[in-house]
């Protein structure tokens, strides 16, 4: 199995430092440590950006190199058609992309109930805290 990009979008650099009742106390560094320990034989590449342009660039990189992607787009989930088009290009080329969310957006505000990414993702995992990412990597590495 080739490399998996673990991509986190807008504001997820704040993980563990704000709104712990929704997102918990663990940081992106904790996530990287956990997943690296849990999947020692899988090449995982962790990135976070608050820039829509940069996030799209990461998806293009996956497209060019046939990498799989675990993507938490942050609030880009709910409105970024540009990110959606990049994800669609990736998955229609045969690469897998799992959309993940720490919280369950469907149990929150109305605007979070729409994802413009889900219908072009290979699958969606939401609501399991940081475990959502582990479940996504398991899904990508299980066959
Ligand atoms: O539950 C998720 O993973 C979300 O993708 C997180 C996004 C939110 O806009 C989505 O609706 C659901 C928000 C990321 C902001 O992350 C923060 C983390 C800690 C403190 C403040 C913001």
Determine which residue's CA is closest to atom 13 belonging to ligand 1: 74
Tell whether ligand 1 has an atom less than 6 A from the beta carbon of residue 13. no
Q: For residue 56, what pLDDT is reported?
A: 98
Residue 21 has pLDDT above 90, yes or no: no
Contact 113, 106 (CB under 8 A): yes
Overall average pLDDT of the 29-58 stretch: 98
- Per-residue confidence band for 19, with pLDDT thresholds at 50, 70 and 90: confident
126 in helix, strand or coil? strand
Determine which residue's CA is closest to atom 2 belonging to ligand 1: 101
Overall average pLDDT of the 57-74 stretch: 98
Residues in the chain: 143
Tell whether ligand 1 has an atom less than 6 A from the beta carbon of residue 23. yes
Contact 141, 39 (CB under 8 A): yes
Nearest to 79 by CA among 117, 22, 42: 117
Give the separation between CA 19 and CA 17, rounded to whole angstroms: 7
Give per-residue pLDDT as tens, 100-110: 999 999 999 99
Active-site positions? 23, 101
Give per-residue pLDDT as tens, 84-142: 999 999 999 999 999 999 999 999 999 999 999 999 999 999 999 999 999 999 999 99
Determine which residue's CA is closest to atom 7 belonging to ligand 1: 74
Nearest to 140 by CA among 99, 87, 85: 99
Tell whether ligand 1 has an atom less than 6 A from the beta carbon of residue 44. no
Tokens standing for residue 29: 């560094």
Contact 39, 137 (CB under 8 A): yes
């Amino acid at each position: 199995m080739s490399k998996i990009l673990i991509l986190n979008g807008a504001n997820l650099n704040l993980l563990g430092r704000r709104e712990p009742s929704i997102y918990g106390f663990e940081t992106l560094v904790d996530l990287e440590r956990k997943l690296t320990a849990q999947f020692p034989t899988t090449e995982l590449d962790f990135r976070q950006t608050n820039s829509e342009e940069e996030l799209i660039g990461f998806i293009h990189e996956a497209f060019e190199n046939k990498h799989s992607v675990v993507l938490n787009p942050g609030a880009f989930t709910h409105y970024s058609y540009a990110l959606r088009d990049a994800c669609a290009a990736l998955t229609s080329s045969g690469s897998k992309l799992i959309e993940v969310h720490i919280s369950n957006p469907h149990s929150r505000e109305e605007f979070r109930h729409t994802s413009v990414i889900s219908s072009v993702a290979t699958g969606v995992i939401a609501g399991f805290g940081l475990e959502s990412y582990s479940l996504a990597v398991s899904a990508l590495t299980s066959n």
